Amino acid sequence: MKFFKKALLTTAITALCTTGSFAEGETSKFVPISKGVKSIEMNLNGEKFTLMRNQTPGNIISELYNTTNRGAPQPMIIADGVETVGELEFIEYMKKAQKDDSILIMDSRKPGWHAKLRIPGSVNVPFTNFNSKETAIEMMEDEMGVVEKDDGTLDFSEAKTIIAYCNGYWCGQTPAMVKNVKYSLLNMGYPAEKIKYYRGGMQAWTSFGFTVVGSGK
């Protein structure tokens, strides 16, 4: 009798493992964004697209990001109060930004990089615009909800929450725009809590096979 019960228990456990009922053993027929999610339909900044991971077996990362001879890694926290986000948090901001104009998905790279390959729905605000006071203010007014008052001071009360990315863990373009150039966002008074840094950038995004736009060359 004891042997019979033990055999039943063994069979049950084997069946559970085979069907993937255990969390660690779960499998799917597609490459997921998150558990059970294959794709998300989006309409962001006038651009309609399907956000998903490349489903092609053996798909290889873009040659723009497949080498390791890059610069030193950027720190996880680039400035006090500036939150670092990962892919799932970034996607949540993308989803919210579809209906919330106070959220800006921003590509801080130079225009050439943006044209080559970018995250769909992102707005290009090159970090080089923050090398001068005039262009920094212009970008903040045009894209980020900042208002320059008659006395020359800046009103950040309606400043957007920006989620900025560049080329990857080693790329210094977003950190430069946030804090490292003379007229950086923080130096100009932009609220740190309204700046989110996607540190993985295009290198991480493409390594996951997420939807991209551009020539890739």
Question: How does pLDDT run along the chain (217 residues), one tens digit per residue?
Answer: 443 344 433 443 333 333 333 233 345 589 999 999 999 999 999 999 999 999 999 999 999 999 999 999 999 999 999 999 999 999 999 999 999 999 999 999 999 999 999 999 999 999 999 999 999 999 999 999 999 999 999 999 999 999 999 999 999 999 999 999 999 999 999 999 999 999 999 999 999 999 999 988 6
User: How far is the C-alpha of 179 from the C-alpha of 98, rounded, in Å?
Assistant: 28
Residue 18's pLDDT is what?
32
Residue 8's pLDDT is what?
39
Residue 216's pLDDT is what?
81
CATH architecture observed for domain 39-207: 3-Layer(aba) Sandwich (3.40)
Whose CA is closest to 169, among 202, 200, 210?
Answer: 200
Q: Judge residue 94's burial from the number of C-beta atoms within 10 Å of its C-beta, 0-12 exposed, 13-18 middle, 19 or more buried.
A: buried
Element housing 134 (H / E): helix 133-143
Q: What is the CA radius of gyration of the chain?
A: 22
If DSSP codes are grouped into helix, strand and coil, which group holds residue 104? strand
For the entire predicted model, the pTM comes to 0.85
Domains of the chain by residue range: 39-207
Residue 209 neighbours by CB distance under 10 Å: 17
